[in-house]
């Protein structure tokens, strides 16, 4: 496991070692001891989640707030997504900044998203299977989000708006300015 820092504090790209031969491949996708040694962070994941989506589906930007804030370890099992995070931790040196990375089944990259970050992704391939671990259980009353097209964040989702598909809930998310004012 090789951990690469991103411009956002405590947010990492994880490059796993792929052991492959004529039979296929093997990857150790998470090792708590190695992660702590490389990142300095101790994480206890409590739940795994998986979704499958079609091209253009945009899920996000979501997060849990307060004591329900979740750290996530995300990866793609099939297809390709553009994964995006926004640091919403009050007092963080990277507060209000975003970072994006393409995660694919072929590149085997994983992305560690710290608690206090809004997270979302858009499917770039015909379909994608997205898998992630979280360190806290979901609490519906603590869910917040920011609109994908927030003018202050100015995120490039790599697809034209006309090709994006949203849930009804995601169409009603607030702005970054509204969230920042609530802190």
The tens digit of pLDDT for each residue in 96-128 reads 999 999 999 999 999 999 999 999 999 999 999
Asked whether residue 49 is domain-assigned, the answer is yes
CA-based R_g, the chain, Å? 16
pLDDT in tens, 36-66: 999 999 999 999 999 999 999 999 999 999 9
Asked whether residue 30 is domain-assigned, the answer is no
Query: Among this protein's residues, is 132 annotated catalytic?
Result: yes
Asked whether residue 53 is domain-assigned, the answer is yes
Asked whether residue 67 is domain-assigned, the answer is yes
Asked whether residue 14 is domain-assigned, the answer is no
For residue 126, the domain's CATH number is: 2.60.120.10
Average pLDDT over residues 6-14: 96
User: Cβ-count burial of 72 within 10 angstroms (0-12 exposed, 13-18 middle, 19+ buried)?
Assistant: buried
Q: Which of 98, 132, 148, 179 is catalytic?
A: 132
| Total structural domains within the chain | 1
Asked whether residue 90 is domain-assigned, the answer is yes
Query: Among this protein's residues, is 62 annotated catalytic?
Result: yes
**What residues make up the domain containing 160?**
45-181
């Amino acid at each position: 496991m090789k951990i690469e820092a991103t411009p956002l504090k405590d947010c990492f790209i994880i490059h796993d070692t792929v052991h492959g031969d004529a039979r296929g491949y093997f990857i150790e996708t998470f090792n708590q001891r190695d992660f702590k040694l490389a990142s300095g962070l101790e994480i206890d994941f409590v739940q795994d989640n998986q979704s499958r989506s079609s091209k253009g589906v945009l899920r996000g930007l979501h997060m849990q707030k307060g004591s329900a804030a979740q750290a996530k370890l995300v990866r793609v099992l099939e297809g390709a997504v553009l994964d995006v995070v926004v640091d919403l931790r009050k007092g963080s040196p990277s507060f209000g900044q975003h970072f994006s990375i393409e995660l694919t089944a072929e590149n085997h990259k994983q992305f560690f998203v710290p608690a206090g970050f809004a997270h979302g992704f858009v499917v770039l391939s015909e379909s994608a299977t997205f898998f992630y671990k979280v360190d806290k259980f979901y609490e519906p009353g603590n869910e917040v989000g920011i609109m994908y097209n927030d003018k202050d964040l100015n995120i490039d989702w790599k697809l034209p708006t006309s090709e994006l598909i949203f849930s009804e809930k995601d169409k009603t998310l607030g702005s970054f300015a509204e969230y920042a004012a609530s802190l």
